[in-house]
Every structure is written in structure tokens, then in C-alpha cells.
Structure 1
Amino acid sequence: MKKEKLLAILRLQATKNVGDIVAKKLISATGSPEQVYKESPKSLAKIPGIGSHILQHLFDKKTLYKAEKELCFLDNNNYSFSYFFDNDYPNNLKQCIDAPILIFNDGNIDLNNSKILAIVGTRNITSYGREFCVELIKDLTQYNPIIVSGFAYGVDICAHKNAIKNNLQTIAVLAHGLEEIYPKTHKKHIHSVNKNGGFITEFWHDEQPVRENFLKRNRIVAGLSQATIVIESAKKGGSLVTADIANSYNRDVFALAGRATDVFSTGCNDLIKSNKAHLLTSANDIAKMLNWDLQPSSAPKQIELFVNLNEKEQKVYDYLTIRGKQLLDIIALDCDIPVYQLSSILIQMELKNVITPLPGKMFEV
């Protein structure tokens, strides 16, 4: 990636009132991150949702200085990064409207595997939770999934360690920069995680693990994953936030039930009672729900030939053929078609039997 482009992306990340959704809107409207800073404030003000509260900070020289410092660090270190609009950006995460515009990673991460599971839960894991986590990951090994978690105490580190023990790739999503580590006692696991997967974060290299960062981190854990598994949680906790986010992304959530008297089963029991999570008893539950245990049909799928598509319909069709199922808002961004127009286009394509609508405003060929 050219330095000018990366600098513009970093500058957007550093700008007050410009979150990931607004940044994507600016880039989509202008054509590139660099072009955002070549447009006049008057021109940018015409973009829906871009008001004075954003424009007053967008050209602040302080953000440029910060971005230049981070760019200098990246130039002198071996960390990789993925830009939202590039092909190497994680596909599951790209389907989330609030996905980070830029993520940094370290290690040997390979996201070609479509079987990606988040395993989260209390930091105060009990022997019941630990034993279940150990057996679950051991039994999941036959499906070769990637195990994602947050590198915290308790369930998180138990999931990472057992993924490594069973030769599964594991990804630790951090609530701080790659030059920091939290908790400090987990420094001893850095090498083994990097060897068997690696670390992902949206935060700049020296960002500290402050409270709000952990909540932001949770959306990446849920977004990267095909499904989220909660192993033990009190009535309130970060893992329940992750489960809620996964539900908002229309991803499956599983929870380990426990005795009504067990404090660290209360949250899981509540998820199951409120139909926010499937009851989890074994790896087989996950495989069945996610269709991992089904063999592909040997009969070829019959498709209608010679369907007439107009230029925009063909553009959307080609995009979905390459990308697979995608969220409405993401299709609009990537295909540069306003949402109100895209909705009409998708309806026509559905009537022509070339796409299928899915829950949560998602579509696939």
C-alpha cells in the first residue's frame, strides 16, 4: 500500500467524531482515503451524515502529526495490516457494518479456513468450565476450526492454550496495541500463539488497555467468527456483550448451561432462557447447527441459464459470486451503489432467481 493512502487511513482513524462507519462513508463518497483530504469542506458537507461536528476536526493538523508518527512506526516494524476495502481483509468481519477500517496483526494468521469459532467467558473459570473447554476443543479438532478469543484470564487463555495443544490455529484479539500486552502474566504465551496463529487489534502500537477498548475489542471477536461460544459467565460480563454483538451480526451463539445456584453459570443460563443462545452440550451441537457434519451434495445445482441482467445487476451478481454472502450495507459500499437503489436492484434479482435473501439483510448468489 502506498504511504499516502496509509497515512490518510491512519489520519481518519485518529480524527475525533470519525468512527469506522463515517470513515467508510467518506471513502466511498470520494473514492479513496487520500481523496478525502483533497476535497473541500464544502464538497464533503454534501455527503449525507457529514456535518460540521465532523468537518471541524477532519483537517486538524494534530491528527496528521499523530498519523505520521504511527506511519513511521509501521515503516520500521514488521507488523502487517489489513484495510477494509482490500481483498485480504477478513471476510466474516467485513460483513459487519461497524468493522474497523484498519486492523493490525502479528504472527502466522491464515483466515482461509471458513470454520472460525469465538470461545469466550468469565475470567474466573471454574473446574467445570475448564474441563468442558478442554474436551470441547479436543472434540472440535476433527473439523479443524480456528479458535478466536481475547487473551484474557480464565476462559480466553484456556481456549488459546488448548487450541495450540490440539494443533489448531488460534487468534488473540487485543484491546490495546501490539507493543503492549495485557495481562502481563500472559507474555509467556506470546510465542506459542504467534507460532500457531497470532494477534489482531485495531489499536495503534502504543495504545493502552483502557476499559472502553475491551468493549470495542469484543465486536472484532464476534465479527471474525462464524459462531460465538460462551463458557461460563456471571449475570453481567464482557462475554455477554460479545454474545449480544454476535446476535446483532446474525451469527450463532452457543452457551454452556450450569446449575441454577452456580454464580458463573447465571449468564449462560439467561442466554439460553431468552433464546439468545443454543444450548451447548458437545462439539456435535456446533457441527450440526453450522452444518459442518454435512457432506456436499454430489448432484449439481441446477441454475437458470441466459438470465438478462442490467449493468448494475451484473455488477452485484459478479461481486456476490466472488465474495459469497454479504450484508446489504457492505454490498452498497463495495459496489458504490446507494442503499435505496441497491434495495430495488436486489428485489429484481431475487425475482429473477439469481440471488437469495438471508436473515439480517444479507444476500447470496
Structure 2
Amino acid sequence: MPTDTQHQIALTLVPGVGSILIRQLISYCGSATDVFRSPLARLMKVPGIGEVTARAVLKPGVLSDAEQVMTRLAKLGAAALFYTDKAYPDRLKPLYDAPALLYFQGAANLNASRTLGLVGTRQATEYGRRITQEIIEAVVPYHVSIISGLAYGIDISAHRSSLANSLPTIGVMASGLDIIYPNVHQKTATDMLGQGGLLTESKPGTKPDAHLFPARNRIIAGLSDVVIVVEAAAKGGALITAEYANNYHREVFAVPGQLNQAFSAGCNKLIRENKAQIYTSPNDIIESLQWDTGSSQASPKNTLPALPVNMTDEESQVLALLRQSAELHIDELSWKSQIPMGRLASLLLTLEFQGFVRSLPGKKYAVVYV
């Protein structure tokens, strides 16, 4: 009998069904297996699923295609991570456009306590490579997981420097796990498996077509607590990653460059348009995210200030969720509580004024203990 993982993979192979529709189907049917067991009439009642899409879901052959994917994953020693799985990255779960399914190969913890995205031009200068190395060497004491895209230039410099400094590093790919692009980075990609890993939403055998790279960039942004653009032209993938990071409420830094250098234009533009903070030294990142104060570590105290008797159910729910974690990003808090972002921001502000919650860098929140 097909497993639930096979059904989950099969959902991503149905033409016209993307991550948002997959979540709709799971919400109405209960599980991926239940989706394929549902009659046509029931599927057609799911919002966004018309008759054509419903028939495509039930079309014979998609399960056998998923079985072939599982066979290729087994040969690679890779795993398929559905958005409901515990191992799926928590940072991605609250994002409306996060992949419903990811393919992962490696040893890294996708839910590391601290993550840093490093991106930039494929035509990196010596200056850009030196800054990249400087950043990574500076964050070694903070046990940070480095995220990048395995591309030429800044990306590969970030991965190789991470390996040299024994930091976990994750390469987010636009292709399938079995197609390393560019191929000259095959050895680095292999070395990363024991210390980090490779991650993609593309099934094995997928070639790195141009339209897949912007989608790849959103995963880099979503996985990162902070994104640093080291060098970038006025247009390009690094700026797309920064745009996603801003949309996801991540911290964004850009390394300034000389005015007459083409691959400083993008960074200077981000700073000018207030889409990135200016990077001047590694301390900018460390202090902004309060890594030097150990804010990501759970507090040894566990007593809340006396709670008012008129606290609302939503306020109590938010406090309960925050007590379960050392800290939570506002997106994750909204997702877990199912409280709309606008109302949640107001609730958090009220709780902060009352002394129950404190705001942290990177749009994160934590409970105040006494």
C-alpha cells in the first residue's frame, strides 16, 4: 500500500496544484492519503479546486510517479519533508508561500537556533570574498548555521568558509538533489553533506531552469534569521532574496561598496532605499540579533509577573505559546495562534506595556520572567 509520504509527494506532482492548494486540500481532507481517497464530488467542494484540478488529483499514474521519486531519494540517502513533519523547518511553516514539500540530504539541523543567510553576486571580487570570510569567522562562537545558494561567487565562498570553520552550512538548490549546479561545485556539495546539507523543493531529476531560482531565493530568505547581501548588481538574485527577507520580517544587512563598482550598486541601493541596514563589521549582526547576550537561550527563571484577572483569551493564548519556547518570531506566533498579524501586533504591544512580553531583534518575542 502507498505510504503517506508517497501520497504527499504525489500531491506535489499533480499539474496545477501548488503549495497553497495542497494546504487547502489537507485542511479539508485531513491528510495526503485522505485526499487521494476522496471522491471527485468532495474534492470539487474544496475552495480553489475546480473539476479539472480534482480530476487531475485522481488521475491514475501520479502515485507511481511518486514511487519513482521515493526510489531515487533512497539511492541518494535523502528525505522528503512535508510541511506537517516535525523535521520540516519551523521558520518556513508560517510563511504563506512556503513549499509544501522539501527534499533534504545531509546531517544539518534545519531548525538550528541561529541562522544566517549570505548571498551576493556570482562575479565576486576579492573584497567580497574577504568580507564573506570575515563574517563567518566572526560568528563561529555563536554556533550559527550558514544558508546560501551553492552558486558561483559569494555563495560558494560562504559554503567553503563555513566548512573551513566547522560551521553547518545548507545549500538551497534550484535543481533536484541529484543535479549539482554548477557542476564544478560537486566536491563542495559532497563535503557539505557531513557538516550541513542540501535542500530543494524540486524533485530529483529537475534541471536548474531560470524560473526556479527566484523560488529558491525565497527559501534562503525564509530559513534565515538575518540575510546579508555582500555584493550585488543593481538587479539580480541577491536583491530578490533581500526583498523576500523584508517581506518575511527578517533582518537584512548590505555591505556598502565603492560608487563606481557595478557589484556594489545593488547593496548601495538597498541601503539608500532603507531595505537593508548598513553592514560595517560583524558586531552589527551580533548586536542587532543580541547573540552576544545569549537571548536565544531559555531563561532559567520560570515565574511570570502576576497576571491581571481581565486578561483576554487571546492574550492568555499568546503568553502560553511564548512560555513553550525561549522566543518566537511574530510570523510563527501568528501561525500557531491563528491570530491575524494586525491584531497580534496590537496584542503583543499591550502585553509589552504590561510587562509580560519583551520584543527582541528580528521581530521575535519572549516572555518576561521575574
Which TM-score bucket, shorter chain as reference? 0.7 to 0.9
Which deviates the most, 347-356 or 86-95? 347-356
- Equivalent position amino acid for 2:106 in 1: G
Evaluate the alpha carbon distance shift between residue 308 and residue 88 of structure 1 in structure 2; reply closer, same or farther with a 3 A threshold: farther
Q: Which residue of structure 1 aligns with residue 328 of structure 2?
A: 325
2:108 is aligned with 1:109? yes
Q: Which residue of structure 1 aligns with residue 44 of structure 2?
A: 45
Contact (CA 8 Å) 1:232, 1:265: kept in 2 or not? yes
Contact (CA 8 Å) 1:95, 1:327: kept in 2 or not? no
Which deviates the most, 306-315 or 96-105? 306-315
2:239 is aligned with 1:232? no
Which deviates the most, 322-331 or 129-138? 322-331
Q: Which residue of structure 2 aligns with residue 265 of structure 1?
A: 264
Q: Which residue of structure 1 aligns with residue 200 of structure 2?
A: 201
Q: Which residue of structure 2 aligns with residue 217 of structure 1?
A: 216
SS at match of 2:91: helix
Q: Which residue of structure 2 aligns with residue 67 of structure 1?
A: 66
Q: Which residue of structure 1 aligns with residue 282 of structure 2?
A: 283
- Equivalent position amino acid for 1:302 in 2: L
- Equivalent position amino acid for 2:26 in 1: I
Q: Which residue of structure 2 aligns with residue 302 of structure 1?
A: 304
SS at match of 2:170: strand
| Aligned ranges 1:138-217 → 2 under 5 Å | 138-217=137-216
Q: Which residue of structure 2 aligns with residue 10 of structure 1?
A: 9
Aligned-partner Cα distance in 1 for 2:362–2:30: 27
Contact (CA 8 Å) 1:122, 1:232: kept in 2 or not? yes
Aligned-partner Cα distance in 1 for 2:169–2:293: 24
Aligned-partner Cα distance in 2 for 1:347–1:234: 38
Aligned-partner Cα distance in 2 for 1:283–1:43: 55
Contact (CA 8 Å) 2:358, 2:365: kept in 1 or not? yes
Q: Percent sequence identity over matched residues?
A: 36
Contact (CA 8 Å) 2:288, 2:361: kept in 1 or not? no
Contact (CA 8 Å) 2:251, 2:362: kept in 1 or not? no
- Mind listing any 5+ residue stretches in structure 1 that lack a counterpart? none
| Aligned ranges 1:111-150 → 2 under 5 Å | 111-150=110-149
- Equivalent position amino acid for 1:30 in 2: C
Evaluate the alpha carbon distance shift between residue 313 and residue 290 of structure 1 in structure 2; reply closer, same or farther with a 3 A threshold: closer
Evaluate the alpha carbon distance shift between residue 328 and residue 244 of structure 1 in structure 2; reply closer, same or farther with a 3 A threshold: closer
Evaluate the alpha carbon distance shift between residue 327 and residue 95 of structure 1 in structure 2; reply closer, same or farther with a 3 A threshold: farther
Contact (CA 8 Å) 1:218, 1:242: kept in 2 or not? yes
Aligned-partner Cα distance in 2 for 1:362–1:155: 28
1:345 to partner: Cα distance: 9.6
Contact (CA 8 Å) 1:326, 1:364: kept in 2 or not? no
1:13 to partner: Cα distance: 0.4
Aligned-partner Cα distance in 2 for 1:36–1:104: 21
Evaluate the alpha carbon distance shift between residue 46 and residue 304 of structure 1 in structure 2; reply closer, same or farther with a 3 A threshold: farther
Contact (CA 8 Å) 2:225, 2:362: kept in 1 or not? no
1:121 to partner: Cα distance: 0.2
1:60 to partner: Cα distance: 2.3
Contact (CA 8 Å) 2:226, 2:362: kept in 1 or not? no
Aligned-partner Cα distance in 1 for 2:143–2:33: 40
- Equivalent position amino acid for 2:305 in 1: I
1:10 to partner: Cα distance: 1.0
- Equivalent position amino acid for 2:21 in 1: V
Which deviates the most, 19-28 or 267-276? 19-28
- Equivalent position amino acid for 1:70 in 2: V
RMSD over aligned CA atoms reads 3.4
Evaluate the alpha carbon distance shift between residue 344 and residue 154 of structure 1 in structure 2; reply closer, same or farther with a 3 A threshold: closer
Evaluate the alpha carbon distance shift between residue 4 and residue 84 of structure 1 in structure 2; reply closer, same or farther with a 3 A threshold: same
1:142 to partner: Cα distance: 2.3
1:298 to partner: Cα distance: 7.8
Q: Deviations over 1:110-133 (max 9, x none)?
A: 235311000000000011111111
SS at match of 2:177: coil
1:243 to partner: Cα distance: 0.5
Aligned-partner Cα distance in 2 for 1:189–1:240: 25
1:7 to partner: Cα distance: 1.5
1:74 to partner: Cα distance: 3.3
1:351 to partner: Cα distance: 7.1
Query: When the two structures are superposed, what TM-score results if normalisation uses the length of structure 2?
Result: 0.85
- Equivalent position amino acid for 2:18 in 1: G
Contact (CA 8 Å) 1:141, 1:168: kept in 2 or not? yes
- Equivalent position amino acid for 1:243 in 2: A
Aligned-partner Cα distance in 2 for 1:160–1:31: 39
- Equivalent position amino acid for 1:164 in 2: L
1:69 to partner: Cα distance: 1.6
1:239 to partner: Cα distance: 0.6
